[in-house]
Amino acid sequence: MDDTLLLQKYHGLGNDYLVLDPNKNKIHLLERHIVKLCRRNIGAGADGILYGPIWQDEKLYVKIFNPDGSEAERSGNGVRIFAKYLLDAGYIRHRPFSLYTKAGEVRIDFLNEDGSLMKVNMGIPQFTGGVLAYVGTPPEIINRPLVFHGHPYRATCVSMGNPNCVIHLDEISKEKAMELGPYVENASYFPNRINMQLCKVMDRGHIRVEIYERGAGYTLASGTGACAAAAASHKLGLVDDRIEVTMPGGQLLIEIGEDGSVFLTGEVQKIGTILMAEHFLA
């Protein structure tokens, strides 16, 4: 390996990630590297970086980084993209398999031969404690009024391994998500910051979502965001067990199991291979 940097780029519904394989690159990845690589004008451009595979205690791990250099606990699109990369690169052959993130295990099952369509067990959503880390609020926030940018909103907070604040509204838009998102992400209620989903229930089997992600900003789609919005809507009795989630980048299918587990089904696609110039990260 020399000083060049080999990356693979994939997307899930327009939510794009760079895969940086430490087994194929000689790099000590730093926060400033992540920020520069994700920049769309001076770098490769992405909503985040997937760093792996990493083997630890006979388990297969991936580290997920936001464009600001912070590490995410989990990403629904990210784990699907990384699973596709593992299949493409020949790291895995058996199906289904387990992948581990900072938030723990996810179970992934490919639904077609090339691995572009898969179903992921994202675990049981948590509505109390954990990574949500509220300050000065009740241990459970379900359809409670919280004040953001000087206005009260009915919010439901749920962890899918990462923290999410779901706000149900009669009308949602990109403009509203971009206006409100920074205030929700950085609200004093959430010292570790939080992801925001604006959610409109269309009917009992369909919701629409606009997303503002912690450390990334407005995004076209989010797997964990879709799961959080569906789980919150289900908790409030607004939807049934099978929910189509429409985001600007496309649709994901979310299913709620009998034990409360959330299953995410969706596609990912490879964009291409990127060879960065020598000394790009110098």
Give the tens place of pLDDT for each residue, 199-214.
999 999 999 999 999 9
Q: Is 195 one of the annotated binding-site residues?
A: yes
**pLDDT tens digits for range 40-56:** 999 999 999 999 999 99
Q: CATH fold of 5-123+268-276, please?
A: Diaminopimelate Epimerase; Chain A, domain 1 (3.10.310)
Contact 101, 61 (CB under 8 A): yes
Please tell me the distance from the alpha carbon of residue 235 to that of residue 24, in angstroms, as a whole number.
Answer: 44
**pLDDT tens digits for range 242-265:** 999 999 999 999 999 999 999 999
Q: Is 45 one of the annotated binding-site residues?
A: no
Interstrand relation of 269-276 and 262-267 (parallel, antiparallel or unpaired) = unpaired
Structure tokens at 255: 């299913």
Q: Is 31 one of the annotated binding-site residues?
A: no
Domain ranges of the chain: 5-123+268-276, 130-259
Please tell me the distance from the alpha carbon of residue 237 to that of residue 235, in angstroms, as a whole number.
Answer: 5
Q: Is 77 one of the annotated binding-site residues?
A: yes
Please list the alpha-helical segments (H only) found in 61-167: 76-88
SS3 for 60? strand
Q: Is 213 one of the annotated binding-site residues?
A: yes
pLDDT, position 1: 44
Name residue 53's amino acid. P
Q: How confident is the model at residue 280 (pLDDT cuts 50, 70, 90)?
A: confident
For the domain spanning 130-259, the CATH number is 3.10.310.10
Name residue 117's amino acid. L
Residue 133 has pLDDT above 70, yes or no: no
